[in-house]
Amino acid sequence: MSHQLIVRSPDLKQLRDEGFEIEVKGGYLLIHQIPYVNSSREICRGTLVCELNLVSDTQTAPPQNHVNYFIGDHPCNNDGTLITAIRHTSQNQVLGEGITVNHSFSNKPPAGYPDYYQKMTRYISIISDQAISIDKSVTPRTFKVIPDNDDESVLQYMDTNSSRANIYPVNSKLIGHKVAIIGLGGTGSYILDLASKTWVSEIHLYDGDYFCQHNAFRAPGAPDGDLLNKRLKKVDYLASIYSNMHKNIIPHDYFIHEENINELDAMNFVFISVDKDPARKSLIEYLLKKTIPFIDVGIGVTLVEDSLIGSVRVTTATKDKNDHLNKRISSGSIENDEYASNIQIADLNCLNASLAVIKWKKILGLYQDLKKEHHSTYSINVGKLNNEDFTV
């Protein structure tokens, strides 16, 4: 399928965005799974085929004629009689590229068809309305998953969400970008969930721990008990899930230490989601030396009487702004860390990750960033987000 042709042709893009199962093959536009009624008044599915007229390899021109082809039985009215409004010829015909059609249709409006959206939806309406009149649940809009066969794409299937929102140029800012997530506990796993839905080129996961039962209550998804009993490493478990969406999720089932920290040199950005201050301190010192931008996240929650209070923190460091780190991030021992109580709740982990990923996207220009804050804290009991440490 020519992905660029569909994205850059408003008529084809509208067909796909509205859920029609379209394919471009050998100079023809195919729309699959069109419901129709056969002569026995049964609801069947066929394929509508149309010759494409192109301005270039990446853009359609107006259709040259009003003829369409069909693969399947001849569509009928809901009483089993042939639909004469489109009837033309019925004979098997090989169009090429493995496309063999059974019928050709003709339905020409006075002014012709201005584009392929108008042409194809006109025929679909004539054919499918008869099936819908028998069964209201029938629809030609399948919204079927479309595999992404582009060798350069990092996604397993096409990002039709970006297509529908017309934000391809914005998301393309992530192409070629490599990120590392260090620590795949609650917040780190949610960072992965969000990052896997982007066009970032590689996502590297670093964690030496196993995915245990308590992790299931603060990570995205719902693993079953049998899976938990397998004692998979966190990175392996999460990579197996998110590789269904992103092609380049690379698990490293070990902790970062002095002997392997140089693996981070290849990264364009690093998310630090660890619960031990000494490890955090070493990572920060190394990344600052290598001028690799990063975000450090943290949750500080305590139990007061019968309620939880605390805050969610996102601290950012870039080449141009990192003089605030000493006052924002603890470098002491775990005993003195606000994270020591290790109270984590899935919604707070999710919020922590969301704020971190939003800030990352702001740095890369996907979101507008007017303030350029480098430290944010959300206070739970007052519901307030404080932004500080702005770039001058």
Summarize the confidence of residues 134-147 as an average pLDDT. 90
Instruction: Name residue 147's beta-bridge partners.
Output: 157
Claim to verify: residue 216 and residue 254 sit in the same structural domain: yes
Summarize the confidence of residues 327-335 as an average pLDDT. 67
Instruction: Name residue 178's beta-bridge partners.
Output: 202
**Which range, of 5-14, 70-79, 370-379, averages the lowest pLDDT?**
5-14
Claim to verify: residue 222 and residue 289 sit in the same structural domain: yes
For residue 148, is it within any domain? no
CB count within 10 Å of CB 141 equals: 13
What's the confidence (pLDDT) of residue 275?
A: 87
What's the confidence (pLDDT) of residue 148?
A: 61
User: DSSP string spanning 104-149?
Assistant: EEE---TT--SSHHHHHHHHHHHHHHHHHHH-TT--SB-----B--
Confidence label for 90 from pLDDT (cuts 50, 70 and 90): very high
Choose one of 98, 119, 134: the last residue of a domain: 134
Residue 1 has pLDDT above 60, yes or no: no
For residue 102, is it within any domain? yes
What's the confidence (pLDDT) of residue 258?
A: 92
Claim to verify: residue 243 and residue 298 sit in the same structural domain: yes
Summarize the confidence of residues 195-213 as an average pLDDT. 95
Claim to verify: residue 178 and residue 243 sit in the same structural domain: yes
Confidence label for 333 from pLDDT (cuts 50, 70 and 90): very low
For residue 44, is it within any domain? yes
Confidence label for 338 from pLDDT (cuts 50, 70 and 90): very low
- Mean pLDDT for the chain overall: 91
Residue 77 has pLDDT above 60, yes or no: yes
Q: How far apart are the first and last CA of the chain?
A: 48
Claim to verify: residue 322 and residue 256 sit in the same structural domain: yes
Claim to verify: residue 254 and residue 308 sit in the same structural domain: yes
Summarize the confidence of residues 318-343 as an average pLDDT. 73
Residue 337 has pLDDT above 50, yes or no: no
What CATH number should be reported for the domain holding residue 230?
3.40.50.720
Claim to verify: residue 185 and residue 280 sit in the same structural domain: yes
Torsional sign, CA 203, 209, 212, 216: negative
What's the confidence (pLDDT) of residue 336?
A: 40
Summarize the confidence of residues 103-116 as an average pLDDT. 92
For residue 149, is it within any domain? no
For residue 152, is it within any domain? no
Choose one of 134, 168, 194: the last residue of a domain: 134
Summarize the confidence of residues 240-262 as an average pLDDT. 96
Number of domains in the chain: 2
Residue 385 has pLDDT above 80, yes or no: yes
For residue 293, is it within any domain? yes
What's the confidence (pLDDT) of residue 335?
A: 41
* Beta-strand pair 43-51/294-304: unpaired
Q: Tell me the CA distances in angstroms from 336 to 183, 260, 276, one per residue in order.
A: 20, 27, 10
Claim to verify: residue 176 and residue 69 sit in the same structural domain: no
- Which domain, by its residues, includes 333? 160-390
What's the confidence (pLDDT) of residue 341?
A: 57
Q: Where are the beta strands (DSSP E) in the chain?
A: 21-25, 28-37, 43-51, 54-56, 59-60, 67-71, 87-96, 99-106, 178-182, 202-206, 249-252, 269-272, 294-304, 307-317, 373-379, 384-390
Confidence label for 166 from pLDDT (cuts 50, 70 and 90): low
pLDDT tens digits along 20-29:
999 888 788 9
For residue 301, is it within any domain? yes
Claim to verify: residue 57 and residue 195 sit in the same structural domain: no
Claim to verify: residue 130 and residue 164 sit in the same structural domain: no
For residue 96, is it within any domain? yes
Instruction: Name residue 378's beta-bridge partners.
Output: 312, 385
Q: Counting Cβ atoms within 10 Å, is residue 330 exposed (0-12), middle (13-18) or buried (19+)?
A: middle
Confidence label for 58 from pLDDT (cuts 50, 70 and 90): confident
Claim to verify: residue 95 and residue 215 sit in the same structural domain: no
Claim to verify: residue 267 and residue 347 sit in the same structural domain: yes
User: DSSP string spanning 159-222?
Assistant: -HHHHHHT-HHHHGGGTT-EEEEE--SHHHHHHHHHHTTS--SEEEEE--SB--HHHHTTSSS-
